[in-house]
Amino acid sequence: MIGISIATKWEYEATLEYFSIKDNERFGYPYGEYFMRTINDTELVFYSTGVRKVNGVGGNQYMISKFNLTKVIVAGTCAGIDDKFSNLDIFVPDKAVQYDCTVKEIEPFIKQSFIVDIDLSKYGNDFYTGTIGTADKAVVMWKDYLELKENKIIIADTEAGAIAYICKKNDVECIIIKGISDFPTEESNSDNFDSNIEQINIYLENTPKVMNKIFGEYLKRFI
């Protein structure tokens, strides 16, 4: 069975809507809820984990163990970092890094032991790829955005790098399919708080669009 890991309630609600899931098909588990679907003769379990690294890892470890998963696909939204790209562009990263695991003042910003390489060779190359950076904090502040950009991170989120890391420990393949929901903006142009609210509103507006694009145009290629 393949697991489809979804972080937020908004991403999961868009998923329920996309697959027309009825109430009696939804089951609870300690990190959120799940439902099953068969697509192209492959059994899939879609589950919400909650946000940030602890929930992402806990939910996925639970599901890997409960359903003996052979592959995990992390589906969801992310921040855009490389400004060549736009909102709603979809990525399948070939590298996932946790960038908040070092003392950056005295250690490298990214340490080799927190990088997971993802072999995408069997899936062709008809998609955007690159490095996704994961940390427990959302990328909102302009200085955080600039630091990620300097370190060649293309997109950023708050779960995927940690999920890829624990999949590797379980010897389970991990594919990350993420769409850009928002870009940080320079807060000096406006009030910090207003700028943050604006980014959250853009995230909320784009979340169903990203999820529909992932399920409609990308999922089948990776199962």
Ligand X SMILES: Nc1ncnc2c1ncn2[C@@H]1O[C@H](CCC(=O)c2cccc(C(=O)O)c2)[C@@H](O)[C@H]1O
> What is the sign, positive or negative, of the torsion defined by CA atoms of 152, 154, 159, 162?
negative
Backbone angles phi, psi at 182, to 5 degrees: -160, 155
CA separation for the pair 85, 87 (Å, rounded): 7
Nearer to ligand X, 129 or 196 (CB): 196
Backbone angles phi, psi at 29, to 5 degrees: -150, 170
Q: To which residue do tokens 């052979």 refer?
A: 70
55 sits near ligand X (criterion: CB under 6 A): no
Using the contact rule CB under 6 A, the part of the chain among 37-45, 85-93, 105-113, 153-161 near ligand X is 153-161
Q: Which two tokens stand for residue 89?
A: 């562009």
76 sits near ligand X (criterion: CB under 6 A): yes
Q: To which residue do tokens 């142009």 refer?
A: 189
82 sits near ligand X (criterion: CB under 6 A): no
Site string for ligand X, 161-180 (x = CB under 6 A): --------------------
CB 5 within 8 Å of CB 59:
yes
Using the contact rule CB under 6 A, the part of the chain among 81-89, 96-104, 107-115, 157-165 near ligand X is 157-165
Using the contact rule CB under 6 A, the part of the chain among 62-70, 107-115, 194-202, 214-222 near ligand X is 194-202
| Distance of closest approach, residue 35 Cβ to ligand X, in angstroms | 20
77 sits near ligand X (criterion: CB under 6 A): yes
Q: Select the residue interacting with ligand X from 2, 4, 6, 7 (CB under 6 A).
A: 7
Q: What is the 3-state secondary structure (H, E, C) of 25-56?
A: HCEEECCEEEEEEEECCEEEEEEECCCHHHHH
- Of 159, 197, 215, 184, give the one whose Cα is nearest residue 8: 159
Nearer to ligand X, 68 or 191 (CB): 191
Binding residues for ligand X, total number by CB under 6 A: 20
159 sits near ligand X (criterion: CB under 6 A): yes
139 sits near ligand X (criterion: CB under 6 A): yes
Q: Select the residue interacting with ligand X from 4, 132, 138, 164 (CB under 6 A).
A: 138
Q: Select the residue interacting with ligand X from 79, 92, 116, 172 (CB under 6 A).
A: 79
Q: How many residues does the chain have?
A: 223
89 sits near ligand X (criterion: CB under 6 A): no
CA distances from 22 to 6, 11, 29, 147, 183 (A): 18, 17, 17, 44, 34
72's enclosing H/E stretch is strand 71-80
Q: Where do contacts with ligand X occur on this chain (CB under 6 A)? A: 7-8, 51, 76-79, 138-140, 156-159, 181-182, 196, 199-200, 203
